[in-house]
Structure 1
Amino acid sequence: MAGVQLAGMASGLDTSSIIQQMLEADRQPMYQKQKEINKIKMEKTIWQNIDSKMSSLKSAATNLKFSSTFDSRTVSSTDDSKITGTATTSASASSYVLENVVLAEPGKITSGTALNFTDGVKANVEETSTLTDPNEKFSVGGSVTEGSFKINGKVVDVIADDTINMVINKINVSNAGVVASFDSTTGKFKIEAKEASTSQNIEFDSTDTSGFLTAVGMETHLGEKIENGENPDYQKKITDVSNLSGVSNGFFTINGYTFEMNTADDSIESIINDINGSSAGVTAFYDNDTKKMTLTAKESGDDITLENDTSGFLASMNLMNQTDDTDATTEKSVYSGSDATVTINGVNFTKPSNKFNINGVNFELKSATDTGEKITLSVSQDTDKAYGEISGFVDKYNNLISYLEDKTKKDGELQGDSMAVNLIYSLRNKLTGTVSGLDSDYNQLALVGVEASDTKTSTLKIDKSKLTEALKANMEAVKGLFTQDIGTGTITDEAVGTGDGTTVDYSLNYTPSSIDKVTLQVGTTTYTASNSTNKLITSGTPQAGEIYVNLQSGELKFGTAPASGETITSTYDYDENNSRDGIAVRLKSYLNPYTIYNGTMDSHIKSLDSTVKDMNEWIDSMNSRLKMRSDSLKKQFTAMEQAISTSNSQSSWLTGQLASLGTS
């Protein structure tokens, strides 16, 4: 009977329900554990968002450290249609007056005489129409009705109110690659391919439900393809152009770049494409109207040098040894560009190009000036660039802080989380603290217009006019507020000053990283933190034999003024996290351990993953135990049902036996 479940058939009990109720109590810890898993997964998502926002803030801090942020220059021109400019970070704020501008011209050569090439033939068909008035609507009378026809696969719809001219317009805009026309004098209706080429055909569909093609005499061409086009000479293979019989397989060189000629494969068009796509530095084109080819240097002032024409192509195109060729040999032709000339602040300059750099300013001459005309280029600091980067930095900071404050508020998902709370506190202090060693008017964000939003939040707001004014007034000071970077290292025997018998206040150039790493030498006396008689202290008022060291600013205060003539030197370690570092520097340094691979955030998120994994393994283990318990309970209840069934059977037998005895 193994595996058989009687399910209360003998006892009358719902044994399956009883088993489920017994197991449900055992499942309660699993349900609670699943709730904890869901909470941790939600917390993981929050920390991943925090990590992403911290990385964005670190990137914004990095952008502030780029030289282009605070050192960028902007250039304005009194006539930017003729002269424009840009400036590198090395350019100083100044003005340049330009006059007597003559543009540099690129080297250029056009075929000396027209090339006797033939135009192509366009595929066309022309027939006499039975319609005479191009503006009469088909609804007035006649055989044209509502319907359609196709040319080169494009559908042209015809309605009753159309005219010949209307249908012509529909054909011409249908992208069928053809042009239709009607000559009312001769009554001729014509359809012609747009391009002259053997590949540009005219193909009519076999059906015309409108009757239009029949009315204009084209019915005999239904289902026909017209293929009488012919390529123009500049598109034909070189071997097929009679006027290029002097060209053979070979090579030619333009500005040192060699092109190979294959007369069976190449055409003038393909060669021009090769030239324009190469590094030869020239632009080539063929004018079908003048039948001439032109080469123009891509850069103003550059020359064009043609040589090594073993193919005879350059000679056949009438490009060699033409007027303005500055080379005397027949095998080589040089067509020189001309230099630009300009007077800048009274000094005459000759430049090989219309683009040149002077004092970190990139000038671009676009047009010659008129006689006596002067154009001024003014170079100034680009406050918009700096403002934009600072604004972006504040936005990223606010985005992170607002998210942290929302998650740590009352009933927030991270309420009471010490790591999240400490992040808010530390980030706020990094941004709102003083940067030592700067002008006192520029050593805090609030002084330049980046202020606390209100007392209920740690977010910041920007006073645009105040920040803009600070950038204009002292860009270097604002730059230092963000980017001053003291770095890490050791200062050895720094000259602090010389005693005069009365002065007790002095200052180190940098901020010490630790009082244990500071040694002060005053005359022949050595002061250290561990010395009991000549001692360095970091709190309280210094007494005789003591020197107070401010680890936030590097300031010193002596308990007793050094004697007149006593030299004061110091050796100490300093690091990049001290108060002299700029806002962006200290913030990036603070965020780096959090955001790097396997850093604080990465490790925290992995720890949450590990916790979830352990909980899932515990749930799996509990499920296995419950399965075993379920199987055991089922066996016990099955055995009970079998016993009751057997007992019931025996009772029925005895009852039957007793009944039979009574009747005998």
Structure 2
Amino acid sequence: MRIGGIASGLDTESIIKQLMQVERQPLDRMFQRKQTLEWQRDAYREVNTMLTNLERSAYSLRLTAAFNTRSVTNPSSGAFTATANSSVQNGNYEVEVQQVATKTRNISTENISADGKKISTTGTLASQTDAFKVDPSTYDGQSFTITTYNANGDAQSKSFNVDSSKSLDALFKEINGANLGVKAYYDSAYDKVVIERTETGKFTSSADPAAPQIEFGGDTGFLTDVLKLDQASEVGGQNAIVKFRNLSLDPTRSDAPIEKEQRSNTVTFGGITINAQQTTNNTFETFSVSSNTDQAFENIKSFVDKYNETITNLRGKLSEERYRNFPPLTDEQRREMSEREAELWDEKAKSGLLRRDSMVSSVIDKMRLELYTPVETSGQYNQLTEIGITTAKDYRMGGILEIDETKLRAALETDPDSVYQLFNNTADKTLTDIPKENRTLEQNQQISSQTGLVARIRTSLNDSMNNIVRRAGNEHRTNQQFTIGREMVSIDSRINNFQRRLTQIEDRYWSQFTRMEQAMNQANAQGAALMNQLGMGMM
């Protein structure tokens, strides 16, 4: 604790405080510069958040389903459901589901638990000798095999040992993990064991198609006696058989329908996918395909809206007023203001941090260029203007996009594939297979001209975001890994050095005032002694 001014009568502490306020001015400017950099860093990161959201919106247009303009009216019977992609022509179609694909399955012929009891699949077999109808420990050490067949009809077998010290679940886990394409489990409601194929369809032996599709071998006593699984009870899986007719091409039904047999219940005829659920009882059921541009239109509109929102926000940051007379507040200045006054001051201090920023303005310029450059496709559309998307006529709106709904819907209805190509066309593989470092300027230009708008925009956005990250970092980077961060680290170092210097200066001031006090004390003492001597002499 320092106390000054005893001899001089001066308010030493107040004087030194005022002197230090002058000395601290460079330090205050450093703190203000650091605060400005932090705000600028956050402003850049806010821009990157906008660009990320726009990139995600563009990515949603990469899916073919985003441009699917076909709607299907399915039959009321529920025997099947149909979906159609954008390449399918409007019209009526017929489907007959002759057979639905099923799984091969074998189920216990009777309950496996003893009367009045219920087995536990988690307890050991040895601990449940009286819970099963047949004591499972009797078969301890026996080995049985399960044989199945792959899609080519080749056999695949696996042996399993009966171990009464383990649970039924442990045995099922071993069977299910044996890559035999089967699954075994216990149904406690029916008190039966089920072993079935994991896939639908008919998987038989190429050598003997009449053989069981899930064949038991070896010592089968445990399977037949304990689990009540009878080989003869197997219900073999079957393939789906679906017939299809396009009534637009065969209105009189004079041609034989297209017939497909396969293991899955999902059967495709061109751009139409049939999901069979039950048979149609030897009759054809009709469904219709019609145009529905709503979803595709909304997907494109959503991207355009996000693009316009991003452009508007970026232009706002570029034109935001910069108030240079409102630097960041120091702690002392903030204490002297009300909360509302400090808030209003901060608003002006933060304003215009990215005004006329070249990095942000280049983002807008690049996106405009990518969107307005024609795309070389095999379709009829190669520019946005051809599908009804144009730049706003009012230049003050900053180049935002406007949609002619009638024109866009017409393009989606008449040739959705061409619209898809405009957004998602890919360059010729003979060009893209060339390593980047070996491509000529002309080849790069060809790749660019053949690339769809979405890929162009996403590439441009990612390049811009990477540039911003190099300057302003992100939540995964330390200050040493980006430009503004390194400047902040430098300022921190200068602040620390300057604070040490201020401490030395303050110590020097106190030392000087202390010596002054000491000198005044000494002078006062000498004066008092002289007065005493003069007083005694006069007596």
Q: TM-score, normalised by structure 1?
A: 0.58
Q: CA deviation at 1:648?
A: 0.8
Structure with the larger strand share: 1
Aligned residue in 1 for 2:522: 646
The one-letter amino acid paired with 1:14 is D
Aligned residue in 1 for 2:387: 448
The one-letter amino acid paired with 2:417 is E
Work out the CA distance in 2 between the residues paired with 1:426 and 1:114. Answer: 72
Mean CA deviation greater in 342-351 or 577-586: 577-586
Aligned residue in 2 for 1:627: 503
Work out the CA distance in 2 between the residues paired with 1:438 and 1:288. Answer: 60
The reply on whether 1:281 has 2:281 as its aligned counterpart is no
Secondary structure at 1:13's aligned position in 2?
A: coil
Aligned residue in 2 for 1:416: 356
Aligned residue in 2 for 1:51: 48
Aligned residue in 2 for 1:521: none
Aligned residue in 2 for 1:313: 222
The reply on whether 1:611 has 2:487 as its aligned counterpart is yes
Work out the CA distance in 1 between the residues paired with 2:271 and 2:171. Answer: 41
- The answer to whether the 8 Å contact 1:104/1:352 transfers is yes
The one-letter amino acid paired with 1:621 is N
Mean CA deviation greater in 278-287 or 463-472: 278-287
The reply on whether 1:23 has 2:23 as its aligned counterpart is no
- The answer to whether the 8 Å contact 2:72/2:287 transfers is no
Secondary structure at 1:575's aligned position in 2?
A: helix
Structure 2 segments unaligned to the other structure (5+ residues): 149-156, 204-212, 246-256, 322-350, 432-438, 474-481
Work out the CA distance in 2 between the residues paired with 1:614 and 1:233. Answer: 69
The reply on whether 1:482 has 2:423 as its aligned counterpart is yes
Q: CA deviation at 1:642?
A: 1.0
The reply on whether 1:42 has 2:12 as its aligned counterpart is no
Aligned residue in 2 for 1:118: 115
Work out the CA distance in 2 between the residues paired with 1:113 and 1:486. Answer: 63
Mean CA deviation greater in 575-584 or 334-343: 575-584
Work out the CA distance in 2 between the residues paired with 1:436 and 1:90. Answer: 21
Q: CA deviation at 1:403?
A: 2.3
- The answer to whether the 8 Å contact 2:125/2:164 transfers is no
Aligned residue in 2 for 1:400: 310
The one-letter amino acid paired with 1:248 is D
Aligned residue in 1 for 2:164: 263
The one-letter amino acid paired with 1:261 is V
Q: CA deviation at 1:25?
A: 1.3
Structure with the larger helix share: 2
The reply on whether 1:435 has 2:374 as its aligned counterpart is yes
The one-letter amino acid paired with 2:14 is S
**2:143 is matched with which residue: 230, 251, 263?**
251
Aligned residue in 1 for 2:276: 365
Structure 1 segments unaligned to the other structure (5+ residues): 121-195, 199-230, 324-333, 491-512, 518-571
The reply on whether 1:602 has 2:474 as its aligned counterpart is no
The one-letter amino acid paired with 1:25 is V
Work out the CA distance in 2 between the residues paired with 1:114 and 1:6. Answer: 98
- The answer to whether the 8 Å contact 1:442/1:448 transfers is yes
Aligned residue in 1 for 2:209: none
Secondary structure at 2:17's aligned position in 1?
A: helix
Q: How does 1:518-533 map to 2 (within 5 A)?
A: none
CA offsets per residue over residues 134-169 of structure 1, 9 Å max, x none? Answer: xxxxxxxxxxxxxxxxxxxxxxxxxxxxxxxxxxxx
- The answer to whether the 8 Å contact 1:93/1:381 transfers is yes
Work out the CA distance in 1 between the residues paired with 2:294 and 2:28. Answer: 57
Aligned residue in 2 for 1:77: 74
Secondary structure at 1:322's aligned position in 2?
A: helix
The one-letter amino acid paired with 2:143 is F
Q: CA deviation at 1:110?
A: 4.1
The one-letter amino acid paired with 2:12 is T
Distance 1:251 1:406, change over 3 A: farther
**Percent identical across equivalent pairs?**
23
- The answer to whether the 8 Å contact 1:71/1:381 transfers is no
Work out the CA distance in 2 between the residues paired with 1:440 and 1:263. Answer: 69
Work out the CA distance in 1 between the residues paired with 2:378 and 2:188. Answer: 68
Work out the CA distance in 2 between the residues paired with 1:116 and 1:48. Answer: 66
Work out the CA distance in 2 between the residues paired with 1:441 and 1:73. Answer: 20
Work out the CA distance in 2 between the residues paired with 1:295 and 1:583. Answer: 52
**2:445 is matched with which residue: 572, 575, 586?**
575
Distance 1:69 1:624, change over 3 A: same
- The answer to whether the 8 Å contact 2:314/2:360 transfers is yes
Q: How does 1:54-453 map to 2 (within 5 A)?
A: 54-65=51-62, 69-70=66-67, 77-79=74-76, 81-86=78-83, 96-99=93-96, 101-112=98-109, 117-120=114-117, 237-238=128-129, 241=132, 243-244=134-135, 247-254=139-146, 255=148, 256-266=157-167, 280-282=181-183, 284-286=185-187, 293-302=193-202, 304-310=213-219, 312-316=221-225, 317-322=227-232, 335-345=235-245, 346-359=257-270, 361-376=272-287, 378=289, 386-387=296-297, 389-411=299-321, 412-413=351-352, 414-431=354-371, 433-435=372-374, 442-452=381-391
Work out the CA distance in 2 between the residues paired with 1:616 and 1:21. Answer: 25
Distance 1:22 1:281, change over 3 A: same
Work out the CA distance in 1 between the residues paired with 2:450 and 2:107. Answer: 67
- The answer to whether the 8 Å contact 1:283/1:298 transfers is no
Q: CA deviation at 1:64?
A: 3.6
- The answer to whether the 8 Å contact 1:435/1:582 transfers is no
Work out the CA distance in 1 between the residues paired with 2:242 and 2:518. Answer: 115
CA offsets per residue over residues 557-594 of structure 1, 9 Å max, x none? Answer: xxxxxxxxxxxxxxx66526866754334333433432
Q: CA deviation at 1:78?
A: 2.5
Higher relative contact order (CA 8 A, sep 6+): 2
Q: TM-score, normalised by structure 2?
A: 0.70
Distance 1:449 1:80, change over 3 A: farther
Aligned residue in 1 for 2:463: 593
CA offsets per residue over residues 602-645 of structure 1, 9 Å max, x none? Answer: 23652222333333333333222222222222222111111111
- The answer to whether the 8 Å contact 1:238/1:266 transfers is no
Work out the CA distance in 2 between the residues paired with 1:489 and 1:233. Answer: 63
The one-letter amino acid paired with 1:403 is N
Secondary structure at 2:275's aligned position in 1?
A: strand
- The answer to whether the 8 Å contact 2:7/2:517 transfers is yes
Q: CA deviation at 1:656?
A: 0.6
Q: How does 1:461-540 map to 2 (within 5 A)?
A: 461-484=402-425
Q: CA deviation at 1:80?
A: 6.9
Work out the CA distance in 2 between the residues paired with 1:278 and 1:603. Answer: 54
Work out the CA distance in 2 between the residues paired with 1:299 and 1:642. Answer: 100
Secondary structure at 2:81's aligned position in 1?
A: strand
Work out the CA distance in 2 between the residues paired with 1:603 and 1:445. Answer: 33
